[in-house]
Structures are given as structure tokens and as C-alpha cells.
Homo-oligomer: A and B are copies of this chain.
Amino acid sequence: MAQRPLDVLHNSLESSVLVGLKGGKEYRGTLKGYDVHMNVVLQNADELKDDTAVRRLGVIIIRGDNIVFISP
């Protein structure tokens, strides 16, 4: 299985990640934690619309089942 998805996620801890959700919203922030459901914790999280920050959310827990992709 080579680079397993959760390993890639683990190696992204403390780095900036882009998280794309169903419906098109995206969040960018520093990955502070995750679990096996791919629920993630971001710090200094911005909500993006067309690559532009539209809202600063600070710390945010995103439920995995809304996530389409995570890009480290």
C-alpha cells in the first residue's frame, strides 16, 4: 500500500494543509491532529472561496466525512 493515506497525513502534522469539502468549501490551516476517521484539527484556519480567505476561524475541527481531499 506504499504511502498509506494516514501516514501521509501524519507526516503533514505541523505543516500547512488545504482541505477540500463536499460542496466546494475549502479550508487552509496548520494540521495539528487527526484520527482514523480523517477528522482533522487545523490551527490558524481560514475558510477560502476561490482561493481567497473569506473568514478566519482559528482552531477548527473538521469531520472527516465531509472531506473530499487533503493536500499537504
Query: Hey, which bits of chain A sit against chain B, CB under 8 A?
Result: 1-10, 13-14, 18, 21-23, 25, 27, 32-35, 38-41, 45, 57-72
**Inter-subunit contact B72/A68 (CB<8 Å):** no
Report the separation of the CA atoms of residues A65 and B34 in the bound assembly, to the nearest whole angstrom.
17
**Inter-subunit contact A8/B33 (CB<8 Å):** yes
Please give, as numbers and ranges, the residues of chain B lying within 8 Å of A23 by CB-CB distance.
22
Report the separation of the CA atoms of residues A14 and B38 in the bound assembly, to the nearest whole angstrom.
24
A1 to chain B, nearest CB (A): 6
**Inter-subunit contact B5/A40 (CB<8 Å):** yes
**Inter-subunit contact A38/B60 (CB<8 Å):** no
**Inter-subunit contact A63/B67 (CB<8 Å):** yes
